A and B are shown apart, each in its own frame.
Chain A
Amino acid sequence: MSRTHVRTHVTCEVNGDAVDFLTEDGESLLNALRDELGLTGAKEGCGTGDCGACSIIMDGRLQCSCLIFAPEANGTQITTCEGLATAGELHPLQQCFLEGAALQCGVCTPGFLVAAKVLLDENPDPTETEVRYALAGNLCRCTGYDKIVRSVLDAGVQIRTSAA
């Protein structure tokens, strides 16, 4: 039996679109998203689940795509940061990150956006402490945390205002 180049056909839904791709079984979902589907938002920071730059939502749960073997995605629903904007309109989080200068080098930003979306979907009115705990799995090597946290809080205000 061959130990290499075992390729599996994966069918799943990414950002609302039905997609399929071929992947080697040992490949990470992160690499499959980037290399097979061209979705380069999710980044590899550490490759070991520590930094959160590869965060995605799979079947409703925030996860590190670097820890997921690509074949695990078969039959799942996935949201990446590319799925946050709708009909050409930025998600409030994206708009607030832009206006609040909540990014420096930007590598961590897609992961922060996805993790923050999960938080605000569950709780659009978090405290600063809740934001900081919810984002504890996302590291910013430029250490721009304060602006990130403020922008998430601002996005919560926007979401609550538009829902009111």
Chain B
Amino acid sequence: MRYAAPTTTDEVRALLGSNPDAIVFAGATDVVPQMRGGRPEPSLAIDLKKIDRLMSVSLDGDTWHIGAAAPTSLLTHNADFTADFPGISEAAGLIGSDQIQNRCSLGGNLCNASPAADSVPVLVVNDAVAVIAGADGDRRVPVADVVTGPGQTSLAHDEIVVCFEIARPAARTSDAYLRLIPRTEMDIAVVGAGVRLTLGDDGTVSAASVALGAVAPTVVRVPDAEAALVGSRLDDDALAAAAAAASEACNPIDDKRGTITYRRQVAGVLTRRATNIAGERVTNAQGVSQ
């Protein structure tokens, strides 16, 4: 295996174009374990961490730009970002240990295309856009449309995610992410639930987004749960309807982490709890207590 650390996306694309089995990596927190698990070693591994645009986290006007290879600790340690997106920050802070969060990236979490990726549901509910460098320059794709199945993305071989663009939340809007794992830290989601809410001045939900992870081949958006929440004041009936819709939207597998029945049940519970947290964040003075 050869190692390359180009400093521009054009160089990355040229290397990918001339090396059909080349891979790109940021933290390699999935790549190395996969190679250890028997994935064939590529002829070329391309390190994306020397490209400034992929490593920076910045607020430009009303849009956050998150470099696709930036370690997620840059998000969890960024007070301004965390104030805008406590749910994204808490999802980033749930991925592995401090050691892992100093390596792993949103781009890697997305493009590894695990159904259980912790950062993806909450990126989806925040309408995050992936900026993808390809043959015709940059193209912008909703995060929800990048992953097409376990381990599969809609990217061409010579395309890479450069950064994520996330518009700052509207007034009286906040988000939350919850996941269930069998222990406190360092495990893979049995179910993950991301929620974003916008509340009117009287506490009525004017907009809601709900997305679930680890319960289907790709992250699942739950329009029926969103419809149940909009117009409500997060009363028990609305929360129960949203939870039921979340359970219904699941298409999970049975595995060692949880059965189909258990995952459906937990998806409803986490949706209800994450909804309450997002609502509390809005009502507690624009909501951001970290």
* Cα distance A98–B95 in the bound complex, in angstroms: 32
Q: Is the interface of B mostly helix, strand, loop or mixed?
A: loop
B1 at interface, CB cutoff 8 A: yes
Does chain A have a CB within 8 A of B100? yes
Nearest chain A CB to B92 CB, angstrom units: 15
How many CB-defined contacts (below 8 Å) exist between A and B?
A: 84
Number of interface residues of B (CB under 8 A): 27
Tell me the complex Cα distance, A133–B97, Å: 9
Question: Within 8 Å CB of B184, what residues of A?
Answer: 136
CB <8 Å contact, B103 and A63? yes
Interface contact A137-B97, CB-CB below 8 Å: yes
Task: Tell me the residues in window 204-234 of chain B with beta carbons closer than 8 Å to chain A beta carbons.
Answer: none
Whether B3 lies near A8 (C-beta < 8 A) is: yes
Q: Choose one: B32, B41, B186; the contact of A66 (CB below 8 Å).
A: B32
With A63-B102, A64-B103 already in contact, the answer to whether A25 and B5 are too (CB < 8 A) is no
In the complex, whether B256 has a CB less than 8 A from a CB of chain A is no
Inter-chain CA distance A138–B49, complex, in Å, is: 25
Task: Tell me if A134 counts as interface (CB < 8 A to partner B).
Answer: yes
Interface string of B23-55 (1 = CB under 8 A from A): 000011100110010000101010101000000
B75-118 vs A, CB cutoff 8 Å, 1 = contact: the mask equals 00000000000000000000011111011000000000000000
State how many angstroms separate the Cβ of A140 from the closest Cβ of chain B: 13
Chain B residues, CB < 8 A from A37? none
Per CB-CB distance, the 8 closest pairs between chain A and chain B, nearest first, are A137-B97, A26-B1, A25-B3, A48-B33, A136-B185, A61-B102, A71-B3, A137-B99
Residue pairs across A and B with Cβ atoms less than 8 A apart, 16 shown, are A8-B3, A25-B1, A26-B1, A26-B3, A47-B32, A49-B32, A50-B186, A61-B71, A62-B98, A62-B99, A64-B99, A71-B5, A72-B3, A136-B184, A137-B96, A137-B98
Given A47-B32, A136-B98, output 9 extra A-B contacts at Cβ < 8 Å: A1-B43, A3-B43, A8-B3, A24-B1, A63-B99, A67-B27, A67-B29, A115-B99, A138-B97
